[in-house]
Structure 1
Amino acid sequence: MADEAIAAGRSAPTTTTENHELSRRRIGVAHIVFFVVAASSPLTVAAGGLPLSYATTGVVGIPVIYLVLATVLALFSGGYAAMSRHISNAGAFYAYVAQGLGRIPGVGASFVALVAYNAMQTGLYGLFGFAAAGVITAELGVDIPWWVASLAALLLIAFLGYRRIDLNARVLAVLLICESIIVVVFDASQVASAPAGLTMDAFSWSALTTGAVGAGFCWVMASFMGFESGAIYSEECRDPRRTVGRATYIAVGVIGVFYAFTAWAMGIGAGTGRVIDQAGEHGPDLLFVLGSDAMGPTFGRIGAVFLVTAVFAALLSFHNAVARYFFSLGREGVLPRGLGRTHPRHGSPYVGSVTQTLIAAVVLFVFAIVGDDPTETLFNWFTNLGALGVILLLVITSVSVIGFFLRDPRGENGWGRIVAPSLAALALAVILVLAIINFHALLGTPPDSMLNWLIPSLVLIAGIIGLGYGWWIKENRSDTYHRIGQGTSAPTPLP
């Protein structure tokens, strides 16, 4: 019966009350692309990321930066895809680092990942609450606190996270298609109207080098967050040896080209010589202002509604990623074993899902009491913390790919084993340094603000605690130590 169910593409029913395996063969390339692109959220980038990147950096050549970073991340994807053909583990970065650099560094990476992805997911509740409360007030005339809207989203996401992965994929597909249509319509309207005419000046060298280019790379890098999450679903996809790599390449290409075009279209609509001033004046409303000028006020109203659903899609995507990290670490005993339990019917990492929900609820409670602007504090602080952590993980993972294949090439070519990950590690390390140096530009704080070093230090602290905990496991829990990074596979010799 179980074999027949698997052959038909369904998960075999489970009769035990405790299960430690995710549902199998539920999703394919398209589903993972939906998860990945939804995390980066096209409409959120277009409405928030692009205007802020223009306004805070003064760089007209933002479209060029998207293409440059897409190239860098394609290099990263070369090694990432090669490693995904040999490792199938919901822990993704954690498993790759453990099998590439050693078990103790793997635990260190897992702690950075937990902090980064929890911060990204939780921080988005600030933006969601602000946007949703604004729409409700504008359309219904009902004034509600931002945290009420955020709490409603949290409960719905908790329900979806408890259910099957393919249900989540279908929800994300619908939301992502809707927000992408809005962005495409906006792009077309700006190109069609083009008050100053069509020009490719934004792709010139002078456009790229004028302004705070380092901060521009940091802002644009944040737009790609989530592109790497395909490997998290490797245990649930139909063909992990091919699906993860293909989905990652597709996601990087789609995000890079789509966002570069949107950045160019926004510059065309505002006027290449005026887009910096326009972005500074209107901020996140720039997309709706330009869209309404070209198509009428209805676009602004519809766009505001779909911005809410776009942020919800990103919340759901990051929630699923965090739940699977908890599951992977619990299954291997690095964290309490209960986190490694999956639902007997849905095959979802429901304990990890509930844990992530509780963490987010606590943070929402604290920020609701404090009463600060949720976009300037909760959203801005937490998402930038998360982005910095993910960049660090990308650097470490690139080095891990090299270490993994040095011990055994496993039939992979030199490009995927050595060249691509080496180039990616160097380029991403430069971006990491730029992000740290320009962190005040990301936060919008004065250069001497305590937050500029306090928030980045949390990533470092998480990694150090993880390394110390990994060493403690080695000295005191040998059985657990040998399971680190192995997933459902038998323990193998690692550094």
Structure 2
Amino acid sequence: MADEALATGRPAAGHMTGTRELSRRRIGVPDIVFFVVAASSPLTVAAGGLPMSYATTGVLGVPVIYLILAVVLGTFSAGYAAMSRHISNAGAFYSYIAQGLGRVSGVGASFVALVAYNAMQVGLYGLFGFAASGLISSELGVDVPWWATSLVALVLIAFLGYRRIDLNAKVLAVLLVCESLTVLVFDISQVSSAPAGLSGEPFTWGALTTGAVGAGFCWVMASFMGFESGAIYSEECRDPRRTVSRATYIAVAVIGVFYAFTAWAMAMGTGVDKIIDAAGENGPDLVFVLGGRTLGPAFATLTQTFMVTALFAALLSFHNAVARYFFALGREGVLPKGLGLAHPRHGSPHLGSLTQTVIAALVVLGFGMSGGDPTNTLFNWFTNLGALGVILLLVVTSVSVLGFFRRRGRGENGWSRVVAPALSGAALAVVLVLAVVNFDALLGTPPDSVLNWLIPGLVLIAGVVGLAYGVWLRGSRPAVYAKIGHGADAAQDG
């Protein structure tokens, strides 16, 4: 059985009711990069994130913020990649923190991760439904409720989540190439036709220090969400010791440089002195307005179409991440053990995928039937909740890298073991504080709105509940507690 699994890259055929291992050796560096970059969604950032960054903060130096955060996250990736060379677990943050700071902390982190990634994935259904129904209405003249198009996407994503990981990677590759080329064509058209000429001012210190720079860092950080998800696929890649680290570095570089270039190109398309006002006046339509001016009216239709497919790709990427968290926690008995079964033929976390699908369906239907706003409420609230949770996990993971290598002292250099995680942890802690302080700017709410502390409070509550549950497991279920954070090896021992 073991030889068959090794040769085919999938669980042995005899495990007809499921296996505790995901399919092996299915994906490589490019595949993981597709998953990671698709989660951040270049076209969604260009159409939504960049105009909002300029408009709500008044910071001209948005391009340089992308480069600064790329350096910070690249530094974080040094310690993160070092951990990936010693730990291969679909639970990623959960496993890293459990082995670096202790099992109770790991369970607390797992609850934050489940809330954060589910919130990101479910929130995207609001924007997807809004964009898809708008496209159908404008092109076909048929009015379709946003939640109906979201449910169609949900069914397709459920099907793909049930299937092999390499099929998902192929779908993401096609969708990501289409949206990335669209953004690149837009960028080139803006640079080529810059009405006021080209300028390097958006990359200067003076541009960085104008406006609400703290809120600017928060908006830009949201564009990187998903960069850390490469480790989630470590059990399914061909060479975990190298694939995850390479994919993470590549993803951070691609996101940082590409989005900085797009932000700069957008400023060139309006003129440096007009980008703030143009973003405030046009909002997400700025890409369509500028692109229509330089590329013609057909560009708007093409971009709207690829906007829908880009959001689908982001939904699929986050769905796969959530399904694997459910799988990792079920396999070790932290959650019901049924979640820890992989499909006997596809090697997919099919029950974790089904669980995420049910959660998303209930939220989408709830918002749809109650007349909830798919963008300002479902998308805005949920994705900002998710982003805040991920930033918190990045900070804690930096500390866990220090703890892991302090106790084990395994062959990594001092930069990866100590310096990089310490520097990135401090920098990311500043970003976390800025995110909490400027949460009203992210939500678009008044400074005294209850949402400004209620939504961040949900992240804290998730962590506290997880910590309490971890303490309970330690005292009441010691066999389960002993396996926490140790993945397939612990499951086989049990």
Query: In the alignment, which residue of structure 2 is the partner of 1:44?
Result: 44
Q: Indicate conservation of the 8 Å contact 1:194/1:271, yes or no.
A: yes
CA apart distance, 1:13? 3.3
Aligned position for 1:138: 138
Aligned-pair CA distance for 1:5: 5.7
Residue number in structure 1 paired with 2:279: 279
Are 2:10 and 2:22, in contact at CA under 8 Å, matched by a contact in 1? no
- Report if aligned partners of 1:130, 1:374 keep a CA contact under 8 Å in 2: yes
Query: Which residue does the alignment assign to 1:258?
Result: 258
1:138-185 C-alpha deviation (Å, 9 max, x unpaired): 111101110011010001000000000000000000000000000000
1:403 is matched with: 403
- Counterpart check, 1:438 vs 2:438: yes
Distance 1:13 1:190 in 2: 55
Native 8 Å contact 1:338 1:351 kept in 2 = yes
Structure 2 letter corresponding to 1:105 = S
Equivalence for 2:110 = 110
The offset of 1:392, in angstroms, is 0.1
Equivalent position of 2:122 in the other structure = 122
**AA partner of residue 469 (structure 1):** Y
Residue of structure 2 equivalent to 1:366: 366
Q: How does 1:29-178 map to 2 (within 5 A)?
A: 29-178=29-178
Partner residue of 2:455? 455
Distance verdict in 2 for CA 1:424–1:226, change over 3 Å: same
SS in 1 for 2:87: coil
Indicate conservation of the 8 Å contact 2:10/2:347, yes or no: no
Structure 2 Cα separation of the partners of residues 456 and 122 of structure 1 = 17
CA deviation after TM superposition for structure 1 residue 354, in Å: 0.2
> Which residue matches 1:321?
321
Q: Distance in 2 between matches of 1:490 and 1:110?
A: 17
Give the 3 Å change call, closer, same or farther, for CA 8–358 of structure 1 in structure 2.
closer
1:2 and 1:13 in contact (8 A); partners too: no
For residues 408 and 143 of structure 1, the distance between their equivalents in structure 2, rounded to whole angstroms, comes to 60
CA distance in 1: counterparts of 2:13 and 2:173, whole angstroms = 26
Mapping of residues 459-478 of structure 1, within 5 Å: 459-478=459-478
Cα RMSD for the two superposed structures: 1.1
SS in structure 2 at match of 1:199: coil
Q: 1:333 to 1:10 in 2, by over 3 A?
A: closer
Aligned partners of 1:14 and 1:206: how far apart in 2? Answer: 65
1:382 counterpart residue number: 382
CA displacement 1:108-127 (0-9 Å, x = unmatched): 00000000000000000000
Q: Which residue of 1 aligns with 2:237?
A: 237
CA–CA separation in structure 2 for the residues paired with 1:14 and 1:299: 52
The percent identity for this pair of structures is: 75
Of residues 217-226 and 482-491 in structure 1, the stretch that sits farther from structure 2 once superposed is 482-491
The answer as to whether partners of 1:58 and 1:210 remain within 8 angstroms in 2 is yes
Deviations 1:381-439 (A, max 9, x none): 00000000000000000000000000112111000000000000000000000000000
Is 2:383 the counterpart of 1:393? Answer: no
- One-letter code of the match for 1:418? V
SS in 2 for 1:411: coil
Runs of 4+ in 1 over 6 A off after TM superposition: none
Q: In structure 1, how many angstroms separate the alpha carbons of the residues matched to 2:95 and 2:13?
A: 27
1:65 to 1:27, Cα distance in 2 relative to 1, 3 A = same
Q: TM-score, structure 1 length as denominator?
A: 0.98
1:270 Cα deviation from its structure 2 partner:
1.1
Give, as a single letter, the amino acid of the residue that structure 1 aligns with 2:25.
R
Cα separation, 2, equivalents of 1:408 and 1:238: 26
The answer to whether the aligner puts 1:487 opposite 2:487 as a matched pair is yes
1:14 to partner: Cα distance:
4.2
Structure 2 SS opposite 1:454: helix
Q: What amino acid does structure 2 have at the position aligned with 1:137? A: S
Q: Give the secondary structure class of the aligned counterpart of 2:71.
A: helix
Does the 8 Å CA contact 1:29/1:243 hold for their aligned counterparts?
yes
What amino acid is the match of 1:88? Answer: S
* Aligned-residue offset at 1:3: 2.4
Gaps of 5+ in 2: none
| Match runs of 1:163-242 below 5 Å | 163-242=163-242
- State the SS of the aligned residue for 2:136: helix
Query: Quick one: distance in 2 between partners of 1:236 and 1:5?
Result: 12
Q: Is the 8 A contact 2:10 2:346 kept in 1?
A: no
Query: In the superposition, relative to structure 1, how do residues 104 and 2 fare at CA in structure 2: closer, same or farther (>3 Å)?
Result: closer
The superposition leaves residues 171-219 of structure 1 with CA deviations (integer Å, 9 ceiling, x where unpaired) of 0000000000000000000001001101111111111100000000000
Taking structure 1 as reference, are residues 5 and 431 closer, same or farther at Cα in structure 2, changes over 3 Å only?
Answer: same
Closer/same/farther in 2, CA of residues 361 and 490 from structure 1, 3 Å limit: closer
Q: 1:6 Cα shift?
A: 2.5
Q: Does the 8 Å contact 1:118/1:386 carry over to 2?
A: yes
Partner of 1:485, secondary structure, is coil
CA–CA distance in structure 1, aligned partners of residues 248 and 5 of structure 2: 28
Q: Distance in 2 between matches of 1:326 and 1:115?
A: 11
